[in-house]
Amino acid sequence: MKKILFLLILLSIGCSKDGESNKSNILNPPEWLHGTWQQDTEYEALNNLIKVEATQDNVKLYLIGGLGVLDIAGQVRNMESAPNGSVNIEETTISEETYEFTMEVFLESALVQSITYRFERYEGYKIMFYQNSSGIELFKI
């Protein structure tokens, strides 16, 4: 959980700029992932809840306590407009039940960070969300 919080705070610096998009479909999440997913509030304090919103061309990660928002497509657009920054996204659909993408952040051609996000569907209204190797169960809301 601490890794997820740290990542959200670290990467929230790259907020998206409304109306800017020089790339369509930076991400292509499968249809089963579209919608809003959240941890069960019975098991987590409200300030530690994770929420994921997926659309046909983006994934946004929220720490519900308000400490961080990571807009993947927005992060890519912002890094591409930075003088010495860039982001590579590699998507993988491992199966009909598993979707994964890796985001690599570069500054002056040096790899600064590499993060893999993985979503595994089960029972229709539940998914497992992994950031690198840490995973949490999310429910569709």
CA count, 13 A, side-chain hemisphere, 18? 0
Q: Angle at the Cα of 130 (from 111 to 120), degrees rounded to 5? A: 125
Q: What is the pLDDT of residue 72?
A: 92
pTM above 0.85, yes or no: no
Report pLDDT digits (tens) over 65-117: 666 788 999 888 888 888 888 899 999 888 889 999 999 999 888 999 999 99
130 is written with which tokens?
A: 């992994």
**Predicted local confidence at residue 28, as pLDDT:** 93
Sequence letter at residue 29: P
Residues 6+ apart with CB under 8 A from 56: 25, 28, 29, 31, 34
Beta-carbon contacts of 100 under 8 Å, excluding residues fewer than 6 positions away, are: 91, 92, 93, 94, 116, 117, 118, 119
* pLDDT tens sequence across 17-64: 333 333 457 899 999 999 999 987 665 554 567 889 999 999 999 876
pLDDT at 16 over 90: no
Would you say 117 and 100 are in contact if contact means Cβ atoms under 8 Å apart? yes
